[in-house]
Amino acid sequence: MHDACMHVCMYLLQEISVSLPHTDILVLLLNLVSKRHHAYLYSLKFLTGKGANCIGIDVVQQVQVIGIHKCQGLIGLHLFIKANW
C-alpha cells in the first residue's frame, strides 16, 4: 500500500510554486534542486512580488544557468553574510 501511495504522490506533485518574499527561501530551493532532490518535479517556481509586480522564477532553469556547484555554495555564502538580496 505504501508503494502505491508514493507512486501516486510522485505524479501528483510534478509542479510546485513557492510564494514568499524572502530570498533565503530561493537560496534553499536552489540548493535543493542542485542536489537533485526534485526528481519528479518538472516545475519548481519561486514567486515573489505583489499584484502586477509578481514574478515567477523557474528554480530548475536558474540552477542550470548558475551552475550546480555555485548554487550549492550560495547557501554557505548566504549564512555567512546574513543578507537578503
In sequence order, what DSSP letters do the residues of 10-70 get, joined into one string?
HHH-SEEEEE-S-HHHHHHHHHHHHTT--TT-SEEEEEES-GGG-EEEEHHHHHHHH-HHH
Q: Is the pTM of this model over 0.75?
A: no
Measured distance CA(12)–CA(6) in Å, rounded = 10
Domain housing 7: 2-81
pLDDT tens, N- to C-terminus, the chain (85 residues): 444 434 444 455 577 888 887 778 888 889 888 887 666 667 788 988 888 888 899 998 999 999 999 988 888 877 777 655 5
Domains in the chain, number: 1
